[in-house]
Chain A
Amino acid sequence: MSEIEITVKTIYSFEKYLGGKKSQKILLKSDSTVMDIIDILTSVYGKTLRDKLIQDGRPARGMVYLLNGRTIMALDGLETKVDDGDEFIVMPPVGGG
């Protein structure tokens, strides 16, 4: 089965959960979903990261997940399909002024 490459990005204050990296590339099987990205990241960075990202099998409240700039919550959530070259951003929901 062919592989696809995805870029995973985060921002300051959350990079510590992703090996201190703001940006990294990961390889996935084609036909993968956002959940597969999280599984791979968890296998590398451990349960602490998983607990931050998933609660009761759903995206954790209070985290932001964007696939190519769009929130996955308005797509198919964790089941959203990913393609080669996609950019996945995970970060805390910081806003204000």
Chain B
Amino acid sequence: MYTGGYMGKVLRVNLSTKEITTEELPEKIAKDFIGGAGFGIKYLFDEVPGDTDALGEENKLIFAPGPLSGTSAPCASRMAVTTKSPLTNAVGMALSGGYFPVELKFAGYDVLIIEGKSEEPVYLWIKDDNVSIRKADKIWGMNTIDTQDVLKQELKEESARIACIGPAGENLSKMAAIINERRAFGRKGVGAVMGSKNLKAIAVRGTKEVPIGNEELFKKARSAMLAGMKESPMLYPHFSKLGTPMVVDATSALGIFPSENYRNTGEDDYTESLGAESSVARTLGNEHCYGCPVGCTQMKLARGGNLKYQGTMSDPEYETYYSLGSCTGVKNHDAVIHADHLCDKLGLDTISVGVTIGFAMELYESGLLSKEQTSGLDLRFGNDEAMVDAITEIAYRNEGIGSLLCDGSKVLAEQIGQGSEKYAMHVKGLEFPAYDPRGAKAHGLNYVTSYTGADHNRGYAPQEIFGAEIPKAYDRFTPEGKGWLTMYNQDLRSATCDCPTMCGFLIDMALPHMAEENTADMVSGATGLDIKKEDVMVIGARVNNLARAFNLTAGLTKADDTYPERILTEPIKEGGSKGHYVSPEELEMMLNDYYDSRNWTKEGVPTEERLSELGLDEAIVKLKEKGLL
């Protein structure tokens, strides 16, 4: 049995019946899935049928930090929220850092499961063993920043940590996020699920300590981890000072920083206006998540230009410089800072929102969207004011542009028709993140096959983007070997970041050479369980296979593992990736390689043999019931 790391308890709150219960965290689940996304996917698979309406009463929201959260492990204050996504109809899993994740552990819980639906707006107050459902009439309609302030006052708990939704979640935008402090469980519409349950916020205050199962091993592993971080030529010398905004310069050099809804990637230079140098000029200082010595978050102040933006402080990451910057053709740095802040405040995912606005701009310029439909906004590429105004319209689902755009690119394409879906940049409904997949083929194959849709964080490919030799470097333009590589990256990311729950930046940039060993030793040290280095990739495979099984029961098929037509037919026209695209034949070849590597059928269904090897009998049963196996 585990003797540390875990608090040993699952907290279950049913908003329909108002029942609040706790149960023991089973050792088998702990050992087979570690925590975080692993716990989320396991509970989702067992308790939510695949065909459930994502915004219906039967869907659940599962919050799970990892066994290292709240210990002295560096960079482990992270938490996964897992649900059935209204944006993709697949597994929706979003991670966030900050302080909220450890607070739930300090209150005594490894998992929080929200069930049912409240008849009126409520919030949840968890103070150690005392858990109550409270009325939220006063804060319903409020933005996320004020909600956190007002709740702390109401509860007379300045130290409470709060995760909440803003107007976007209340209005069930499928791009709505859950916000804690300035951080977001951003993607896949998890905020809409919370809104559909009439749950405005979760406030937590805990006073317990997270026990350590094997002090000696934990100390040793922690020292090795800190030494690995210190030795990294990247982590402290560059990344902690500049954060992710410096990636704008790197991907621009590679010719994969997408712009204007991917129609002119590589043709326009954004490094001067949105790159590291202009970012540094606006940086006030950095912020840290709990227990993180790196502090990559860079707080920035909009100082000049348009009066609407001046004085706004926010912390746009690389992805946001793409989505609300280059993807909409916007080069006004202060506008991006302001737009980022607006998304946090209103509770929206910056990536999906920016990409959807970029798509709408292309439709507007090509005459498929009229000025009447855009509520009078002149949605031309580069019009920063129109981009900023569209965000508020989306959050409130306002008639016109708001209601057209608030459910993302896929729904927008369905409403517009006329072949517009070719330029709707999403996979399974989730908008593309900031790497043009035409110039990074394994990175892109992960968009196609990730259980969450186009999600860079489920299988980042450093082997082709950086030439990392773990296990070996790959040419980013060629399709050969990319199926296996994508599987490897997805399983590694799940097992070493998403489950334990450690920061992906740390593992990708500083510790890729020791990721498996580090996970095994840190988790074993914290929990007292015996997890070996060779178990780690098996756990990653288990999580990805179970998520795939959920998606199949939700009705997804091989046909959903694809790109929009633009990626399959239009080469990148300029820059460091000029001439490259992913032909349908190449995609088919990479997909076959991926399915084969995973021991899935040609239709992308995990075989009984593979599921059995991974101990996923529950998946065999459900897939057979559905006639899928």
Of residues 86 through 142 on chain B, the ones whose CB sits less than 8 Å from some CB of chain A are none
Closest 10 CB pairs of A and B: A71-B467, A73-B473, A93-B466, A73-B467, A62-B233, A11-B249, A12-B276, A97-B319, A74-B475, A74-B473
Binds A, one of B61-69, B239-247, B560-568: B239-247
Q: Is the CB of A94 within 8 A of B576?
A: no
Binds A, one of B250-258, B305-313, B400-408: B250-258
Q: How far is the CB of B488 from chain A (nearest CB, A)?
A: 16
Identify which of A11, A62, A71, A93 contacts B276 (C-beta below 8 A).
Answer: A11
Q: How far is the CB of B344 from chain A (nearest CB, A)?
A: 16
Q: Which residues of chain A come closer than 8 Å to B195, judged between CB atoms? A: none
Q: How far is the CB of A88 from chain B (nearest CB, A)?
A: 11
The chain A residue with its CB closest to the CB of B252 is: A11
Given contacts A62-B234, A97-B434, contact A70 B466 (CB under 8 A): no
Q: Is the CB of A89 within 8 A of B253?
A: yes
Q: Interface size (B, Cβ < 8 Å)?
A: 50
Q: Is B477 an interface residue, CB under 8 A from the partner?
A: yes
Identify which of A9, A72, A75, A92 contacts B233 (C-beta below 8 A).
Answer: A92
Q: How far is the CB of A6 from chain B (nearest CB, A)?
A: 15
Identify which of B238, B460, B467 contacts A72 (C-beta below 8 A).
Answer: B467
Q: Is B509 an interface residue, CB under 8 A from the partner?
A: yes
A22 to B407, CA, bound (A): 41
Q: Is the CB of B234 within 8 A of A94?
A: yes
Q: Is B524 an interface residue, CB under 8 A from the partner?
A: no
Q: Is B412 an interface residue, CB under 8 A from the partner?
A: no
Q: Is the CB of B505 within 8 A of A96?
A: yes
Q: Is B213 an interface residue, CB under 8 A from the partner?
A: no
The chain A residue with its CB closest to the CB of B433 is: A97
Interface of B toward A, CB cutoff 8 Å: 232-234, 237-239, 241-242, 244, 246-247, 249-250, 253-255, 271, 275-277, 317-319, 351, 433-434, 439, 456-457, 460, 462, 464-469, 472-477, 504-505, 508-509, 513, 576-577
A38 to B250, CA, bound (A): 20
Q: Which residues of chain B come closer than 8 Å to A96, judged between CB atoms? A: 244, 247, 317-318, 460, 504-505, 508-509
Q: Is the CB of B509 within 8 A of A95?
A: yes
The chain B residue with its CB closest to the CB of A55 is: B233
Q: Is the CB of B477 within 8 A of A94?
A: no
A89 to B254, CA, bound (A): 9
Identify which of B250, B351, B456, B477 contacts A91 (C-beta below 8 A).
Answer: B250
Given contacts A74-B467, A91-B253, A92-B238, contact A97 B317 (CB under 8 A): yes
Q: Is A69 an interface residue, CB under 8 A from the partner?
A: yes
The chain B residue with its CB closest to the CB of A63 is: B233
Complex A-B: 29 CB contacts under 8 Å: A12-B242, A12-B271, A12-B275, A12-B277, A13-B242, A13-B246, A14-B238, A52-B233, A60-B233, A62-B233, A64-B250, A66-B253, A66-B254, A69-B254, A69-B255, A69-B576, A71-B475, A72-B467, A74-B464, A74-B472, A75-B475, A87-B576, A94-B247, A95-B460, A95-B509, A96-B505, A97-B433, A97-B456, A97-B457
Q: Is the CB of A95 within 8 A of B465?
A: yes
Q: Which residues of chain B come closer than 8 Å to A87, judged between CB atoms? A: 576
A9 to B254, CA, bound (A): 11
Q: Is A61 an interface residue, CB under 8 A from the partner?
A: yes
A9 to B476, CA, bound (A): 19
Instruction: Pick the most buried of B232, B271, B475: most chain A CB atoms within 10 A of its CB.
Output: B475
A91 to B242, CA, bound (A): 14
Q: Count how many pairs of residues, one from A and one from B, have CB atoms less than 8 Å apart in the complex.
A: 123
A62 to B511, CA, bound (A): 10
Q: How far is the CB of B214 from chain A (nearest CB, A)?
A: 30
Instruction: Pick the most buried of B434, B462, B473, B474: most chain A CB atoms within 10 A of its CB.
Output: B473
What sequence of 0s and 1s flags, for each residue 1-40 of chain A, a beta carbon within 8 Å of any chain B beta carbon? 0000000010111100000000000000000000000000
Q: Which residues of chain B come closer than 8 Å to A66, judged between CB atoms? A: 253-254, 467, 576
Q: Is the CB of A71 within 8 A of B476?
A: yes
A65 to B247, CA, bound (A): 16
Interface of A is mostly: loop
Instruction: Pick the most buried of A12, A70, A73: most chain B CB atoms within 10 A of its CB.
Output: A12
Interface of A toward B, CB cutoff 8 Å: 9, 11-14, 52, 60-66, 69-75, 87, 89, 91-97
Q: Which residues of chain B come closer than 8 Å to A69, judged between CB atoms? A: 254-255, 439, 476-477, 576-577
Q: Is the CB of A71 within 8 A of B253?
A: no
Q: Which residues of chain A come closer than 8 Å to B472, judged between CB atoms? A: 73-74
The chain B residue with its CB closest to the CB of A87 is: B576
The chain A residue with its CB closest to the CB of B508 is: A95
Q: Is the CB of A74 within 8 A of B576?
A: no
Q: Which residues of chain A come closer than 8 Å to B317, judged between CB atoms? A: 96-97
The chain A residue with its CB closest to the CB of B186 is: A97
Q: Which residues of chain A come closer than 8 Å to B576, judged between CB atoms? A: 66, 69, 87, 89
The chain B residue with its CB closest to the CB of A65 is: B467
Q: How far is the CB of B353 from chain A (nearest CB, A)?
A: 15
Given contacts A95-B466, A96-B247, A97-B434, contact A70 B477 (CB under 8 A): yes
A92 to B513, CA, bound (A): 16
Given contacts A71-B473, A71-B475, A74-B474, contact A95 B250 (CB under 8 A): yes
The chain A residue with its CB closest to the CB of B254 is: A69
Q: Which residues of chain A come closer than 8 Å to B476, judged between CB atoms? A: 69-71
A70 to B476, CA, bound (A): 7
Known: A12-B277, A75-B475, A95-B460. 9 other contacts (CB 8 A): A11-B271, A61-B513, A62-B233, A69-B476, A71-B474, A93-B465, A94-B509, A96-B504, A97-B318
A61 to B473, CA, bound (A): 12
A73 to B463, CA, bound (A): 9
Given contacts A12-B249, A94-B238, A97-B318, contact A73 B508 (CB under 8 A): no
Q: How far is the CB of B354 from chain A (nearest CB, A)?
A: 13
A70 to B508, CA, bound (A): 20
A93 to B237, CA, bound (A): 12
Q: Which residues of chain B come closer than 8 Å to A75, judged between CB atoms? A: 475
Q: Which residues of chain B come closer than 8 Å to A73, judged between CB atoms? A: 467-469, 472-473
Q: Which residues of chain A come closer than 8 Å to B318, judged between CB atoms? A: 96-97
Q: Is the CB of A95 within 8 A of B462?
A: yes
A65 to B513, CA, bound (A): 18
Q: Which residues of chain A come closer than 8 Å to B275, judged between CB atoms? A: 12
A93 to B351, CA, bound (A): 22
A65 to B469, CA, bound (A): 12
Q: How far is the CB of A20 from chain B (nearest CB, A)?
A: 12
A89 to B237, CA, bound (A): 19
Q: Which residues of chain A come closer than 8 Å to B439, judged between CB atoms? A: 69
Q: How far is the CB of B221 from chain A (nearest CB, A)?
A: 21
Q: Which residues of chain B come closer than 8 Å to A64, judged between CB atoms? A: 250, 466-467
Identify which of B234, B271, B456, B577 contacts A93 (C-beta below 8 A).
Answer: B234
